[in-house]
Structure 1
């Protein structure tokens, strides 16, 4: 039995849960929502009365392992290890993250870790995978600060299902859009502040009805937790204003989709390794090797970070989606963008952004897989290839090949083939998680085989 599930640990968690439950009850909370994110990128949930939190913390809440094989349309597939009606797991809330939900009065939220009935960590637990990779990094003496950008498209609730009825039609990045949704965005900022989320900025994006919100960096697991909480809060606040939202990579065929960009920086103690080194733009040799490992593995990582049936519809050149396997300082067409920060702020602000990821991704899988790839680059002592300037899509014929710049996979089937062959990601995830991810990606590919873009978008628009 895992020591986290022994009698002493159960008793400690029960006592902590009693204190948390008392605090939540005093704040008017009646129920606690326990969430996990499945391999299709859907946030799943089970709720417990606040008075039941003590038992949930000590013994967990039952949930079938079949959710690991769910597809975006709620059908299910099978893998070699998971699928079908048999078995059960236990959801254990992370009490440190328990927080009342400002836009859902009477409810609180906590992310959950999944264990077997025998008390062992579930090998398919995505949150557990992210934690293992963060722990692996600590063995190198490294910690990571990560944050996800959250993009969404707002539409009027009750509008036509075929095409979103946007509440604002103002120019891209225009002030008019902030005026049209002023009350909703104000309430969103208030709700996130009440929930302890440190927001850096919010602004209208390029596509009709599209917005983006950025938050402060945290450790890899906490960053994924916050991504889940932010999306839930965006959805709940918007509903109170008569809006429904979509985080799907493609909301309307032929328009810019929703990204889910990951920002991260490796730190050794109090030093940001993306600054103060002798490498390109101040990268230390460790940061350069780490980022070179991520860059090398991007074709396989795309099956994790841009995994949805509609993800390829977003990966369009000259749309700042990062479709080329290259890097560049502040280059928004590169899949890996180096952000150095303003003069004087580099030591705290310098980081790298993975731009080719989107809103269909499971954020725990993203942080875990990116760290695994980067650590492999560090172990191999990799160096970055030459930096890319400008938009590779505009280059003369032959220059891409000359500079060794490749287009990232244009289909999920292609990125899945890279993922299947990735011994690095197979070892990091473990056989069970790697295998079930392959099964879900394959089943979704077959589900939408031959479907035109409009049909893919319509089927997935409101699933994320």
Structure 2
């Protein structure tokens, strides 16, 4: 049950500190099943009440689509009912790029103080707890890629910066913008590891330090919204869509993860191939086996599948490899002498239309299922699987991953492990929301799909 007295006391103490830092309002965010960050905000003086009693929000947010259309579903209550949004005071952050504001992610409870069965952040907490009960912990980070255009440009305008892919010219042209962005994130406690121009026109990528999975998902939300806000202040618009234009290279949302036993990284120093321990191999094999189903969570939009093409470093075949950027699972060992801390698994086939809490939870559940099965990885690939013939891929057991959202949804429905871990209400609602989007774009062209989703994420 909620300890309302303790929450009131703690939030009251924080209110004084926040007021001294100029905070007047607190934004409270949650991410829906379509991957959109939704928000309610309270004046600072209401933070103690929000912490103890929550802020009201409709159950219908579970059924929002990317386009704000509310679909129906087996577990929909329509306009009936209410949930309470409780800010996580441990994650509360002063927004350095939005003066007068602070931010906190929320947990959803019902009016009796019980967890909402469709709360993605609570699901991720459950996954972390289950892994801890096995004696292990995970560390994760999300890579953020985005494209910028001028804020006053038409929606179909080209990017707001020139210069070659990864080129210093592009960085120089937007040096003030990038410096302000990194400075702002640093002030907000986000550990930026690197930032650079990416492959596509006007595209940049930012990497942050790994953290526990809940914190990593929180950081992904905070980082995206900080990029959006800073872009606006610099006369720009930021798009995180998987496909900005049909002919271009898309934005990915790669996930890095590792599993630890105390202070030991299980992705290094083991007796299996490339130094994997048996647990790390089984964990990775569980993810690889369930990649088709995981696409319904990590590539959850119709536009996601315009990005998932061979030879685009998007990882579209069921394969893995050491530092192989064309396989969906890329083992990153790190440099000699630093592997004990650096080794991790990069999952490359997902994008930033995903709800990061759902995706992190799904990866943990898939990995734990692989551990339970004592699953083994196939032989690693040291070539681009797209250059192999169909016969060569078949001989190696390499198959194409879903090319349509409908196929990913079908795989998710058929996966008993993920369905059980998510629980029937949430698993069913995810399917309902995905199918509504599939129907929305049933007859749409790639141009219409990219235009509709260019600025929604």
Structure 2 length as normaliser, TM-score?
Answer: 0.99
Q: Is the 8 A contact 1:293 1:382 kept in 2?
A: yes
Alignment-derived partner of residue 361 in structure 2 = 368
CA distance in 1, matches of 2:32, 2:159: 29
CA distance in 2, matches of 1:169, 1:390: 32
Alignment-derived partner of residue 186 in structure 1 = 179
Q: 1:264 aligns with which of 249, 257, 268?
A: 257
Alignment-derived partner of residue 53 in structure 2 = 59
1:287 equivalenced with 2:280 (yes/no): yes
Q: Deviation at 1:83?
A: 4.6
Give the match's secondary structure for 1:102. Answer: coil
Q: Deviation at 1:439?
A: 0.3
Report matched runs for 1:69-108 at 5 Å.
69-108=63-102
Structure 2 unaligned regions, length at least 5:
none
CA distance in 1, matches of 2:175, 2:304: 30
CA distance in 2, matches of 1:462, 1:93: 27
Give the match's secondary structure for 1:168. Answer: coil
Q: Deviation at 1:387?
A: 0.5
Q: How many residues align?
A: 457
What's the CA shift string for 1:82-116, capped at 9, x where partnerless? 25111110000000111111111000000000011
1:251 equivalenced with 2:240 (yes/no): no
Q: Deviation at 1:165?
A: 3.4
Alignment-derived partner of residue 12 in structure 1 = 6
Report matched runs for 1:445-456 at 5 Å.
445-456=438-449
CA distance in 2, matches of 1:120, 1:66: 18
Give the match's secondary structure for 1:44. Answer: strand
Q: Is the 8 A contact 1:69 1:83 kept in 2?
A: no
What's the CA shift string for 1:12-31, capped at 9, x where partnerless? 11111011111111100000
1:302 equivalenced with 2:288 (yes/no): no
Give the match's secondary structure for 1:417. Answer: helix
CA distance in 2, matches of 1:372, 1:334: 21
Alignment-derived partner of residue 391 in structure 2 = 398
Structure 1 length as normaliser, TM-score?
Answer: 0.98
1:221 equivalenced with 2:214 (yes/no): yes
Report matched runs for 1:12-31 at 5 Å.
12-31=6-25
Structure 1 unaligned regions, length at least 5:
none
Alignment-derived partner of residue 231 in structure 1 = 224
Q: Deviation at 1:396?
A: 2.5
Alignment-derived partner of residue 235 in structure 2 = 242
Alignment-derived partner of residue 104 in structure 2 = 110
Q: Deviation at 1:390?
A: 1.2
Give the match's secondary structure for 1:383. Answer: coil
CA distance in 1, matches of 2:17, 2:273: 50
Q: Deviation at 1:262?
A: 0.5
CA distance in 2, matches of 1:19, 1:408: 51
Q: Deviation at 1:125?
A: 0.1
Q: Deviation at 1:78?
A: 1.4
Alignment-derived partner of residue 203 in structure 2 = 210
Give the match's secondary structure for 1:398. Answer: helix
1:331 equivalenced with 2:299 (yes/no): no
CA distance in 2, matches of 1:397, 1:223: 38
**Runs of 4+, deviation exceeding 4 Å:** none
CA distance in 2, matches of 1:76, 1:398: 45
